Homo-oligomer: A and B are copies of this chain.
Amino acid sequence: MKLPAPLEAVVESLQKLPGVGAKSAQRMALHLLKEGPDAMAHLAQQLQQAADKVGFCQVCGAFTDQPTCPICLDPRRDAHSLVVVAEASNVLSFERSGHFRGRYHVLGGLISPLRGVGPDQLRVRELLKRLEDGAIQEIILATNPTVDGEATASWLARILDPIGIRTTRIGLGLPIGSDLEYADELTLDRALEGRRPV
């Protein structure tokens, strides 16, 4: 027996979400059904609202339901330092830790010759434009420590060098709470490179 067609459609879509398999997608859909049609309609409305209202900040590219995000508008944020990340969701990770008081710039991806993504598809022009008024004094490159992330960081560092703004890379090394025994060689190499006086 198949599920009723409209329910099957929901299960198929839920299955595309990260970490959701066929079985858990069905469990979720059935759970919503059991809660009554209101629960399903409620989630539907919320998704529709989010789809309609949430977009990208016109300045930094982070998620927001306003033209400009609260971080870019907040006068208490340090206007001198800028963390550059690949994805809008990366902004959330930094904000969760809560220690960085500067602003962000979202590239919207990483340079990846294999996937045919060049600098032109990223928000690099927007980044350079933000540097024009001279307020930003440090750029912290915070792309992931992957092949594409490292390549993008190197490329950006080369581009930013002639402009004369201090450009740094976030620290790479052993994560807090980890064990040397399980660290891979590349991480250990980076941890040694990144050593600092105590």
A151 CB–B CB distance under 8 Å: no
Interface with B: A50-58, A128-136, A163-171, which one? A50-58
Q: Which residues of A contact B (CB under 8 A)?
A: 1, 3-7, 9-10, 13-14, 17-20, 24, 26-34, 37-38, 40-55, 63-66, 70-71, 87-89, 91-92, 95-96
Please name 23 pairs of A and B residues whose Cβ atoms are closer than 8 Å in the assembled complex, sorted by A.
A1-B71, A1-B95, A3-B92, A4-B50, A4-B63, A5-B65, A7-B63, A9-B50, A10-B43, A10-B50, A13-B46, A17-B31, A20-B28, A26-B92, A30-B89, A30-B92, A32-B47, A33-B63, A34-B88, A37-B52, A37-B55, A41-B52, A44-B51
What 9 pairs across the A-B complex have the smallest Cβ distances? A1-B95, A40-B51, A44-B47, A44-B48, A4-B65, A37-B51, A41-B51, A6-B50, A17-B28
